[in-house]
Structures are given as structure tokens and as C-alpha cells.
Amino acid sequence: MASTLTVLPSHTPARLVVFVSGSGTNLQALLDACRDPAYGAEVVAVGADRDGIAALDRAAAAGVPTFVHRVKDYPHRADWDRAVRDAAVAYEPDLLISAGFMKLFGAEFLAAFPQRVVNTHPALSPAFPGMLAPRDALEYGVKITGATLFMVSDGIDDGPVIAQRAVPVEDGDDEAGLHERIKIAERAMLVESVGRMARGGWSITDRKVTVP
Ligand code: GAR
């Protein structure tokens, strides 16, 4: 028999920890949304796997604390995973968001935040998992791609789907142009979904995610 797990944020506004590796436009969309108290969430920390990225500047400009853990500074990947977990735990997050974070979380990180870690991906899952989704979609020749928000599992971009937005591929698209159009849809999807999750929680039955 299917069992349902319901998660309700413990804080009002809900506490978000966002993970980034690059330009941070998805982070910026969340920071902007959180300025409205009615949105129901606040970004309490931003975590990264590298220094010197625009996303960290965006966090600093918003007055949000940051932490950086580089994989290469740890003897084993599991040590890095524990360090990232411990940094995040300290902020008591209700929801953890991988928004352009180019690392996979390990088992110990995920065990600390069951059904509370989400990732945004620039393709319509289950198509085109991995780091090069817009390029892979172009090379395959699909006519429609898009963005997916999903619950992070121990696989690669294959967790239960929370939300998706479709984006048509246009004749003459190159990878950068297509990715930029996907990111417009992606940011809107992320802001809408995270707000609803923050305000009303979410439920998971088998692979089906319900956000009120
Ligand atoms: C986003 O499109 C995100 O989905 C993608 O990186 C971009 C980050 O943009 N992530 C992945 O491809 C992970 N598989 P941003 O730094 O401007 O938010």
C-alpha cells in the first residue's frame, strides 16, 4: 500500500538554504521573492562549492551569510559531504535548494534532510540528466524542452518531480540562447513552487509530489 509522507515547514517564514556554483540568477529570483513578507520564506544562508562566483556576490549584496566548501580541500568526498551537511544544519533549514549547484549531495547529507532537498534542472525530466542538459536537448533534436524542479534522491536528476515548465526549441537556437530561455521559465517555476512549499508544505506518495 502506498504511504504518504507530509512535510510542513517548522518556521514562519520558512527557512531556505540555497546552494550555488555559478551566476546565481535562480538564487536572485528567490532573494527578490523573499523581500515580500507574504511570500512566506527567507533565504537564511547560501552554500557554494567554489569561491569567486557571482552567486556569492548576490548573497552578500542581500546580506545573507555564505559558506564555501571545496571538494578538493577534503581527503574524501564523504568528508566534504559531512562538512556541507554540518554547515547547512546550523541554519535549521526547512527546505534546501540546489539552484545551479554543480555537485551531487552524498548519502549523509541527504539523510540529514529527508524529503527536504530540491534541485532545479534545465530539461524536462527524465530526459537529459546531467550537467549539459540544454546541449544534449539540442543535439537530440527535441522540439520541446524545459525545466524541472524535483526532490533530490541518490540518483542523478531522477527524483520525484515537483513542477515542470515547457520551453519550445526554436530553429537556429544555440546552447547559450536555449539555456537562457529555459532559465526564464525555470526561475518562474522555482519561485512559484518554493513559495507554495514554504506556505503550505508538501506531500509525497510513492513518486507523486503534491504541493497545496
Ligand atoms: C540553471 O539552469 C540550473 O538548472 C542549471 O544551472 C543553471 C544555473 O543558473 N543546473 C544544472 O544544470 C545542474 N544539473 P544560475 O546560476 O544562473 O541560477
7-24 residue pLDDT tens:
999 999 999 999 999 999
Segment 128-160, tens digit of pLDDT: 999 999 999 999 999 999 999 999 998 888 999
User: Does residue 184 contact residue 145 with C-beta atoms inside 8 Å?
Assistant: no
Q: What is the dihedral of CA 51, 56, 57, 58, to 10 degrees?
A: 160
Asked whether 131 lines ligand 1 (CB < 6 A), one says: yes
Complete domains list, the chain, with CATH: 4-210 (3.40.50.170)
pLDDT at 107 over 90: yes
Residue 127 pLDDT level (bands cut at 50, 70, 90): very high
Of all residues in the chain, what percent carry a pLDDT higher than 70?
A: 100
Active site residues: 121
Ligand 1 atom at shortest distance from the alpha carbon of 130: 14
State how far the alpha carbon of 143 is from the alpha carbons of 123, 124, 139, 168, 187, in Å: 12, 12, 11, 6, 21
Q: How far apart are CA 49 and CA 209, in angstroms?
A: 29
Q: Write down the pTM of the prediction.
A: 0.97
Asked whether 23 lines ligand 1 (CB < 6 A), one says: yes
**29 Cβ contact partners less than 8 Å away, ≥ 6 residues apart:** 187, 188, 190, 191
Asked whether 25 lines ligand 1 (CB < 6 A), one says: yes
Segment 158-196, tens digit of pLDDT: 999 999 999 999 999 999 999 999 999 999 999 999 999
**φ and ψ at residue 17, rounded to 5 degrees:** -115, 125
Q: How far apart are CA 169 and CA 160, in angstroms?
A: 25
Asked whether 133 lines ligand 1 (CB < 6 A), one says: yes
User: Does residue 147 contact residue 164 with C-beta atoms inside 8 Å?
Assistant: yes
So what's the pLDDT on residue 10?
96
Segment 40-72, tens digit of pLDDT: 999 999 999 999 999 999 999 999 999 999 999
3-state helix, strand, coil in the chain (%, to 5): 35, 25, 40
Looking from the CA of 120 toward its CB, the CA atoms found within 13 Å total 30
DSSP 164-176: EEEEE--TT--HH
So what's the pLDDT on residue 1?
73
Residue of 26, 118, 167 to test ligand 1 pocket, by largest number of atoms within 8 Å of CB: 26
Q: Which helix (H) or strand (E) holds 58?
A: helix 54-61
